[in-house]
Structure 1
Amino acid sequence: MVGQNGNQYGNHSKLSDFQRTKPPSFSQVVGPLEADDWLRTIEKKLEISHTEEADKVPFATHNLEGAAAIWWDNAKAMWPPDDEITWDKFKDNFRKYHIPAGIMKVKQREFLALTQGNILVSEYLHKFNHLARYSLYDVATKESKIDRFLGGLNRHLRCRLNMFDFPDFQNLVNKALIAEREHKIVYNDHKRKFEPKKDGQPVQKARTW
């Protein structure tokens, strides 16, 4: 009896340790990778709380709610009795159900077509990092990630940066931000130089860049 109580208290203590990391709940998908975000966050919380392998699935699914909880109840009921429900198997089934392959392909095409356009480098970077998760193969190496980001930059930034070699992706981003700032300074100086004078006399019009 003491041993059983010890196990109960031990399991309760472990769950309390996990819950103290404030794991998020999950009920249904809104964005295509929201399920993946939840899974990654939960996995970090499990690591922080030093959760044992056998406890990962019950602790994680403790935070499923609504439609997701119903899905898991059905999945458990249909799970082969002689097949152990490991954490890796749970993650695989969770992703397959909540992240449809068709949506992943649409987002992958969106990433491959991404260009900076008229937005700032910082905004382009945000979109790039967000969509790159749908197309990991295309940014699998440092070189491929740099080439993809550089190729989507505005023409004037791309022309400035193409002559350089970049030791890593962050170095490219930093150089792109600097080049964008310098371009704005030059453009604004040029624009002020050709602005109409206060007396209203016509002057040469500034070129558009």
Structure 2
Amino acid sequence: MAGGRNSGNGGNNLIEVVRQLAAVAQQLARNSNGNGDAQGELFKKVAQSKPPTYQGEPDPTILENWLREFEKLFGAVGCPENLKVSCATYFLRGEADLWWQQNETTIRALPGFNWAKFQEKVRDKFYPRFLQIQKAEKFSNLKMEKMSVTKYYTKFIELSRFAEEYVATEKAKARKFESGLTTDL
């Protein structure tokens, strides 16, 4: 009889464990479905804002603008780090899309892969070092000459992002801006 009671208790314990496992499984299923819905909703938010596409143009300004737009968009929609690359790569076209299709597996396998690593790899491909140096030199040599102050300022801001070492602080940026102004100002 004692054995019968233990097996009965064991049966109750087993039933309770099965109930708990079922509850956990249901919760996991809800979380999984909720996560999928959340990803879909996030992608809808991104797509509704009509972000630009990037086609692999050799102009680094286009690439930097594309990356900057996604940075702003991710902040606005609260995109979690683990979904940024998937959202952004949907908006690759042409050569950039082909590059991603051919290299995605290798790049995603890199240690610590994230949005920053993706940006690094896309810049390595479409904004090679020699172009980075050219843009930095263009900024370094920028002078107002016959431009209006507004045009000079616009060009200064556009090129300054390619030569951050020259304008690491606001004070350095102001000095560099002033050094390019014409002497009559």
TM-score normalised to the size of structure 1? Answer: 0.67
| Residue 14 of structure 1, CA deviation | 2.0
Partner of 1:17: 45
Deviations 1:113-169 (A, max 9, x none): 121112211111112111212211111122222221111111111xxxxxxxxxxxx
Which runs of at least 4 in structure 1 moved beyond 6 Å after TM superposition?
Answer: none
Aligned residues: 157
Q: Is the 8 A contact 1:33 1:99 kept in 2?
A: no
Flag structure 1 segments of 5+ consecutive residues without an equivalent: 158-209
Pick the aligned partner of 1:148 from 166, 176, 180. Answer: 176
Q: Distance in 2 between matches of 1:93 and 1:145?
A: 28
TM-score normalised to the size of structure 2? Answer: 0.75
Pick the aligned partner of 2:165 from 137, 141, 153. Answer: 137
Over the matched positions of the two proteins, sequence identity in percent amounts to: 28
Flag structure 2 segments of 5+ consecutive residues without an equivalent: 1-25
Secondary structure at the residue paired with 1:123? Answer: helix
Q: How do 1:36-75 and structure 2 match up within 5 A?
A: 36-75=64-103
RMSD between superposed Cα atoms in Å: 2.1
Q: Distance in 2 between matches of 1:5 and 1:14?
A: 14
Q: Is the 8 A contact 1:28 1:67 kept in 2?
A: yes
Give the structure, 1 or 2, with the largest relative contact order (CA under 8 Å, sep 6 or more). 2
Q: Is the 8 A contact 1:29 1:35 kept in 2?
A: yes
| Residue 77 of structure 1, CA deviation | 3.1
| Residue 5 of structure 1, CA deviation | 4.5
Could you say if the C-alpha distance between residues 77 and 132 of structure 1 is closer, same or farther in structure 2, counting changes exceeding 3 Å? same
Q: Distance in 2 between matches of 1:55 and 1:131?
A: 30
Secondary structure at the residue paired with 2:172? Answer: helix
Return the structure number with greater helix share. 2
Q: How do 1:1-209 and structure 2 match up within 5 A?
A: 3=30, 5-79=33-107, 81=109, 83=111, 85-157=113-185
- Give 1 or 2 for the bigger CA radius of gyration: 2
| Residue 84 of structure 1, CA deviation | 5.4
Letter in 1 for 2:65: D
